[in-house]
Structure 1
């Protein structure tokens, strides 16, 4: 792809976009001035960058028919492994379809990427294969991950195994549904507003959003650099500990991981939680949309922990109610600039840039933008509106306010080892019908994040644990801990898991 010298007409248009008034002589002079810098782009075309080479041979796999994909949870099925022995030997893992697996199609739930096949393995994929895991396939997800429900995937609706008429949650709905239905014991999800924890809660599996910067996202399609997370979604606490042990830790390509501090997650499984203190977050229960039955299940579970020597008492963090506002200020412009206008990679971040993915998304944006979901259109237009007419000041202010939000949780966590609340204030919602009004389609995709999104902004680890059912649908209890203290959350989750079979209550 050669970079051509712009025409005088193009230079005039470029200047006009910035309000510049240029004379004909100035335009001609700028055209000549462009020649020198553009020689660098010619040389860049000749140079070969490093690549994230795959560690295992593989066939591309196949897209499963409906008969072997009853919940719409698979995008693609594979059987990739190295034969190595390690912590994941014998384990099948589904990879969320916003994460690159070399030679395997990747759609990220969107018509914009249909037909794209990456040539690289994401860092987390390489780590799984090196640890003896088997990549069983790509889990379907929401359109560019912009939904907390499971009805915007371009490949079709993803259904909840506990009631197929209800949402599996999003955006990592395929990952949760595959674990909940027993197809795989482990999956990877991504989380920018709750996208690991929402589907895990609604499908009744264990989902951990790690501390920001603990797990690298190299080779994954982002939403916004400062809120992107990748983490495990599993059938048991032990499997969460296994998968987190393998994928966590510094990655030279991802500057977010420079400060990463890993813990002994496997050792935490046998470390009793007796003596730990849990703060029951008052503001986590008081939302207008909160279901009293969900609140009661969570409180009953916390109370039962007292029998195992885990103390609990109520705590108030008023900033929790402002967290969603801070999150909106960060993610709307962040996503519009990095993922949409930045074609899935953005710029000015030291890291690995999957250029092939960038090119594929740019082509899709140019030819199929009208095929995206209403939630993608909403983020694109609203994010651009705030950037264009308010010059990014609200994004900047929200980034500054995140420090106060983080500090408020940190202050509470000086007294408690974890904070507890319902993961989602209500159980899985019905999937909207195909003819649902546009406002309904958007609302049910975004109305569940009151408790989850704040911790994407603050960066605290948050672990959703199944704790019961309401009307046959799972309820999740969310534990939030200090930065890089995932091991403490695993200890508490293990105690909840051991306390009883949530599926029977």
Structure 2
């Protein structure tokens, strides 16, 4: 039930907005608003539709440290799906920004602690319908706003290859539980690289699909133009299988989706490895990012050269705008401030499902527990508020408009090649950082590994990270980028990389 504002409240609002009204004039507005709110309240008896919850479950538990050595699990549970299906027998983890009905959801942030959604996200229902068992919620970075793995409220997620090092983020926990074999598959979320970055530093397969291919319905987002969900697995085959299950149109519930999309049988197409004649573009700008490690570059180029043994054709390509793509993303992030802080994480103006659970929880978070946010989120709140007050939406509009030439530049490169290759991250896993580290170092470590990944959240191209080998015992990720809705070609090349790596063991 919505309360009508008092006359004093409305007077304060008018003054804060810079409106100059005498009391007699304002009384007319107050009466009109009262009538409108009475109309709003007349809809209270209509039952609001909710996403379905089809499978029974118990509430689960927070695991003890001894059973959670890398701090990758936020919550453990056991939700059994259908008796058969493509994922029968598979154990799956769900990133903790994705709703599981009746299971606590923290999204890595103390300010959300105690929140429990009342519905299952669409991907959750599809996973259970396919016969999988969901065994828990994996830790994610604080509101998914870091490329490192030190911002989660319950502590840093440690890299299984070296627990003193970062896993990368924000799907940090999902990557770890896949790498350690605790699950077969995990759902990740990606707004600036958050599937591919931890995939690279743990050595698993992580795909950010084409924008809208996998429905985001029921996941807590950052900004609608950037949000993606995708699969994280140990093998390319399992990544393709998982995508078959979670991809596809959601009946108009998610405005990110195209209603006429089709989902190929990726696994059937991958039965016979054949990349003969496929052109692989080596992106020069992707190998020259700041901090690039010569040993990482050598490993990746040696791996790419071996693709020629399978008949692939290598070609150098250049996309000069790639070097400033992360700056375009940074300007676009003003939309994240507007969506998360002002609009309850739900946005407005699109046709689709609006999770009121999220709006209520987000409203409480930003109104009464804002100090519990991570420093990375506070950074964007301060910047976003400044830009809004002084420039309104000019910066955001310009950034979004720059996405058109950026997307065109990659599309033009993809006219001459089938996939574009570059390091996911041009250096190996860095040491963990902590909140009491100097602010410049802290912020640098949270975002320095995103230079190659952010572009494709803006442009929507599919991008996959596959392990290409190790440098001094630490995994190195190769990122493959393809044409929109052409995940199949990426899978084919990634499968060849997998074969090459197996041959190097």
TM-score tier by shorter-chain length is over 0.9
1:441 and 2:442 correspond = yes
Deviations 1:196-229 (A, max 9, x none): 0000001100000000010000000010000100
Q: Which residue of structure 2 aligns with residue 263 of structure 1?
A: 264
Say if 1:202 and 1:428, in contact at 8 Å, map to a contact too: yes
* 1:367 positional shift: 2.5
1:283 and 2:282 correspond = no
1:53 and 2:55 correspond = no
Q: Which residue of structure 1 aligns with residue 316 of structure 2?
A: 314
Map of 1:289-300 to 2, 5 A cutoff? 289-300=291-302
Q: Which residue of structure 2 aligns with residue 142 of structure 1?
A: 141
* 1:357 positional shift: 2.1
Q: Secondary structure at the match of 1:88?
A: coil
Map of 1:145-184 to 2, 5 A cutoff? 145-184=144-183
Say if 2:334 and 2:396, in contact at 8 Å, map to a contact too: yes
Say if 1:263 and 1:486, in contact at 8 Å, map to a contact too: no
Matched residues in 2 for 1:149 and 1:434: separation?
12
* 1:346 positional shift: 2.2
Deviations 1:142-192 (A, max 9, x none): 000000010000011101111110011100000001111111121000000
Matched residues in 2 for 1:439 and 1:153: separation?
19
Deviates more, 1:441-450 or 1:474-483: 441-450
Question: Which stretches of structure 1, 4 residues or longer, exceed 3 Å deviation after superposition?
Answer: none
Q: Which residue of structure 2 aligns with residue 22 of structure 1?
A: 21
* 1:349 positional shift: 2.1
Q: Against the structure 1 CA distance between its residues 368 and 267, is the aligned structure 2 distance closer, same or farther, given a 3 Å change threshold? A: same
Deviates more, 1:291-300 or 1:482-491: 291-300
Q: Which residue of structure 2 aligns with residue 398 of structure 1?
A: 399
Deviations 1:415-469 (A, max 9, x none): 1000000001111110014531222222211111110000000100001000011
Matched residues in 1 for 2:285 and 2:258: separation?
33
Structure 1 gap segments, 5+ residues each: none
Q: TM-score, normalised by structure 1?
A: 0.97
* 1:40 positional shift: 2.1
Matched residues in 2 for 1:74 and 1:104: separation?
13
Q: Which residue of structure 1 aligns with residue 130 of structure 2?
A: 131
Matched residues in 1 for 2:129 and 2:451: separation?
38
Structure 2 gap segments, 5+ residues each: none
Q: Which residue of structure 2 aligns with residue 365 of structure 1?
A: 366
* 1:58 positional shift: 0.7
Q: Secondary structure at the match of 1:492?
A: helix
Say if 1:254 and 1:352, in contact at 8 Å, map to a contact too: yes
Q: Which residue of structure 2 aligns with residue 478 of structure 1?
A: 479
Matched residues in 2 for 1:407 and 1:261: separation?
23
Q: Which residue of structure 2 aligns with residue 353 of structure 1?
A: 354
Q: Which residue of structure 2 aligns with residue 198 of structure 1?
A: 197
Deviations 1:272-293 (A, max 9, x none): 1222110000100112211111
Q: Secondary structure at the match of 1:226?
A: coil
Matched residues in 1 for 2:202 and 2:114: separation?
29
Deviations 1:390-427 (A, max 9, x none): 11111111111111111110011011000000001111
Q: Secondary structure at the match of 1:15?
A: helix
Q: Secondary structure at the match of 2:256?
A: helix
Q: TM-score, normalised by structure 2?
A: 0.97
Matched residues in 2 for 1:288 and 1:344: separation?
33
Matched residues in 2 for 1:17 and 1:216: separation?
39
Say if 2:70 and 2:159, in contact at 8 Å, map to a contact too: yes
Say if 1:268 and 1:488, in contact at 8 Å, map to a contact too: no
Say if 1:211 and 1:461, in contact at 8 Å, map to a contact too: yes
Matched residues in 1 for 2:398 and 2:379: separation?
21
Say if 2:213 and 2:485, in contact at 8 Å, map to a contact too: yes
Say if 2:82 and 2:130, in contact at 8 Å, map to a contact too: no
Say if 2:435 and 2:442, in contact at 8 Å, map to a contact too: no
Matched residues in 2 for 1:425 and 1:320: separation?
14
Deviations 1:369-399 (A, max 9, x none): 1111100101111122112211111111111
Say if 1:420 and 1:480, in contact at 8 Å, map to a contact too: yes
Q: Secondary structure at the match of 1:165?
A: strand
Deviates more, 1:194-203 or 1:494-503: 494-503
Q: Which residue of structure 2 aligns with residue 414 of structure 1?
A: 415
1:187 and 2:186 correspond = yes
Say if 1:172 and 1:189, in contact at 8 Å, map to a contact too: yes
Say if 1:82 and 1:130, in contact at 8 Å, map to a contact too: yes
Q: Which residue of structure 2 aligns with residue 381 of structure 1?
A: 382
Deviations 1:349-369 (A, max 9, x none): 222122122212222223221
